[in-house]
Structure formats: structure tokens, C-alpha cells
Amino acid sequence: MDLLNALVALLNFVVIPATAYGAQLALGALGVTLIYGILRFSNFAHGDTMALGTGFVILVTWWLQSLGVSLGPLPTAFLALPFGIAATAAVVLLTDRGVYRFYRRQKAAPVILVIVSMGVMFVMNGVTRFVIGVEEIRFADGARFLINANEFKKSTGLAEGLAFKASQAQTIAAAVLVVALLFWFLNKTRTGKSMRAYSDNEDLALLSGINPERVVAVTWIIASGLAVIAGTLYGLDKSFKAFNYFQLLLPVFASAIVGGLGSPLGAIAGGFLIAFSEVGLTYAWKKVATYVLPEALAPDGLAQLLSTDYKFAVSFALLIVVLLFKPTGLFKGKSV
């Protein structure tokens, strides 16, 4: 019984939250990695793309809610997602046209593009705050729980409750769906194949008649789609605050790099690795330990390895360790 309780506590406080968070990070990191693979620079504006896109989704959600439209048990935000993605993709494509394309034509050094993306980050950060403000916004509606903690306790008779939030289930389901779609697109469609060819060897791809501007445009559209989905899922799970999304840039980048920049599979692995280490190292293990260990060995303190304020430190410690021993990430990313 104690072992079962420990297992439920572990599921409730570590496995489920970390899986949902990992899925959000993986989606964000996929966007970063795609841009790195095709456009060959680290896009510092990705966190703010996520924020801006989520801002659009929230605005459309409010509009739909005012019309009385809802998806029943699912959050209205899912209905708003296509609009958010379209708006964000339009903004991002305009940015590419107005800003990035010039440097691409010039064949500027990647590091210049990173600095340019810093400028885009400033502007997007400001625009997001302008459009939606800096306040914390909760926009989740529909069903709250898939499994309610109290009902779980009653029906199983266990001392520990298991709560599975609807937003967490939706996050995981959506992530699986999106990743499956993305891999199908990259591996099976003509456009996807041309993208991979362009990423592997730009000159050869150009020689075989691939239109670079089209590849770049498709990449931006997919990356903004991924960013908006990741941002919306994160916002549904926790809440929306522009500044938090800017900070999310750090674990997202860490995921992409730990997995290996330019490798989609690596981005997913990196996202979950970062999420599980963040949650695992900042979780107070006292409860689980008291169930599992004999009474004499039970910990006095919280048995928390690091205070939750240091969760960013975890992702970067992991980043440094991986880079020191595997300089291009776990899945052999590229470097320019």
C-alpha cells in the first residue's frame, strides 16, 4: 500500500507535471532547432514569438467567448489556435521579408543574424506588451480535471490523491499529434524533403533546383506554428505572462542544444530531459521517501535538492555538462 501511495505521489508531483512541461519545451525547442537547421542561426526572438502568438490566441479566445462560442470540455483557445498561428506566421514572415532576408542575401555571419534576432526580440517583446499587457492572464476554460484528486482518493482508498489536469492531458495529446505531423511532413512530403536537403547541404539543394525562399518561408511558418502551440499549451497549463515567456527562452534553448541544434529528434529528447531534471531536482522528496523508506531512515527536512528558484540553473548545468562531454549535443547536432 505504501509503495502504491509513493507511486501515486510520484506520478502526481513529478511524472505528470514534468511530462506536460517537457512536451511544451519540446515543441518550443523544435521551432528553435528547425530555424537553426534551415536558417543557420539561434533565434533569440523565439520566446517572444511564443508570447506574441499566445497573445493573439488569447485575444481571439476572448472574442469567441464574447460570441458565446465554446468547445464544451475543451478550452476555447483550441478554436482560436488557427487564427493565432496565422497572425503570428504573418508577422514572422513580414519580419523575415523586412529584416532577415537582407542578411541572408548578404550571406552575413551567423553571429550577425543572432544580433539581428536580438533586435527583433526587443521589438516583439514591446509589441506583445503593447497588445496584451504585462499582467498575468488565465484563459483556460472547459473541463478542469481529467482525474480529480479527491475522487481518486475515494475510489481507490489510497491516502495520496492523483490529479491529472485537463490542460496537462491536452498538452501531451497535442504534442504527440503535432510531432507526428511534423515528422510525417519532414519525411514524406516533397516540401519536407526539400527542407531536409537544404538543411543538410545548401549548395547541393540549390543545384537540384530547390527554391530557397520557399524553404525559408515554410520553415518560418512551421516554426511560428510550433511556437504558438507551445506557448498556448504552456499558458493553458500555467498562465500567460509576457515576461515568463521571455524567460522560457532559456530552457527552450537548453533543450534544443542538449539534444543537438538542428536535430528534431534531439529537441524532443532534450525537452523531456530538461523538464524531468528541473522538476526532479526541485521537488521535495520527503513525501515519497517517507512512504518508501523504513521509518528510521525517513528524512527530517523536505529532502529537496534545490530550491525551485534555481530551476533555470538545472537546465544550464545540464547544458554545460552535455556540451563539455558531447560538444554538439546528444543527437549530433550541427554547428556553423
Partner 1 sequence: MNTRNILLFAGMAALIVLEGSTTFGGIFGGSWNTALFILNFGLLSAIMALGVNMQWGYAGLFNVGVVGFIALGGLAPVLIATPPVTEVWTAGGVGRLVFALIVGLGVIALAIVLNHRLKGRVRLAALCVTLIGGFFLYRALFDPAVEVIEAFNPATNSNLGGLGLPVLLSWPVGALLAAGAAWLIGKTALGLRSDYLAIATLGIGEIIVAVLKNEDWLARGVKNVIGIPRPVPYEVDLQASPAFVDFAAGFGAEPVVASTVVVKLLYAGLFLAILLLLTAASELALKSPWGRMMRAIRDNEVAAGAMGKNVTGRHLQIFILGSAVCGLAGAMMVTMDSLHNPGTYSPLRFTFLIWVMVIVGGSGNNWGAILGGFLISFLWLKVEAWGPAALEYLTAGMDPASPLREHLKDSAAHMRLIALGLVLLLVLRFSPRGLIPEK
Binding test (CB under 8 A) with partner 1, winner from 5, 24, 61, 125 = 125
Q: Which is nearer to partner 1, 121 or 279 (CB)?
A: 121
Q: Which is nearer to partner 1, 215 or 242 (CB)?
A: 242
Query: For partner 1, which stretch binds (CB under 8 A), given 52-60, 86-94, 115-123, 264-272?
Result: 115-123
Binding test (CB under 8 A) with partner 1, winner from 198, 253, 291, 331 = 253
Binding test (CB under 8 A) with partner 1, winner from 69, 90, 94, 118 = 118
Q: How far is the CB of 317 from partner 1 (least distance, A)?
A: 8
Q: Which is nearer to partner 1, 41 or 198 (CB)?
A: 41
Q: Which is nearer to partner 1, 150 or 247 (CB)?
A: 247
Binding test (CB under 8 A) with partner 1, winner from 104, 129, 153, 326 = 129
Nine-digit cell string for 4: 502504491
Cα distance between the two ends of the chain: 54
Q: Three-class SS string for the chain?
A: CHHHHHHHHHHHHHHHHHHHHHHHHHHHHHHHHHHHHHHCCCCCCHHHHHHHHHHHHHHHHHHHHHCCCCECCECCHHHHHHHHHHHHHHHHHHHHHHHHHHHHHHCCCHHHHHHHHHHHHHHHHHHHHHHHCCCCECCCCCCCEEECHHHHHHHHCCCCCCCEEHHHHHHHHHHHHHHHHHHHHHHHCHHHHHHHHHHHCHHHHHHCCCCHHHHHHHHHHHHHHHHHHHHHHHHHHCCECHHHHHHHHHHHHHHHHHHCCCCHHHHHHHHHHHHHHHHHHHCECHHHHHHHCCHHHCCCCCCECCCHHHHHHHHHHHHHHHHHHCCCCCCCCCCC
Dihedral of the CA atoms 89, 91, 92, 94 (nearest 10)? Answer: 120
Q: Which is nearer to partner 1, 186 or 313 (CB)?
A: 313
Q: How far is the CB of 118 from partner 1 (least distance, A)?
A: 6
Does position 94 interact with partner 1 (CB under 8 A)? The reply is no
Distance of CA 144 to the CA centre of its chain: 21
Does position 130 interact with partner 1 (CB under 8 A)? The reply is yes
Number of residues that bind partner 1 (CB under 8 A): 48
Q: Which of residues 297-316 bind partner 1 (CB under 8 A)?
A: 301, 305, 307, 309-310, 312-313, 315-316
Binding test (CB under 8 A) with partner 1, winner from 18, 121, 140, 175 = 121
Q: Which is nearer to partner 1, 173 or 336 (CB)?
A: 336
Does position 127 interact with partner 1 (CB under 8 A)? The reply is yes
Binding test (CB under 8 A) with partner 1, winner from 111, 159, 173, 293 = 111
Which residues are near partner 1 by CB under 8 A? 36, 41-42, 99, 102, 110-112, 114-116, 118-127, 129-130, 133-134, 246-247, 250, 253-254, 257, 261, 301, 305, 307, 309-310, 312-313, 315-316, 319-320, 323-324, 327, 335-336
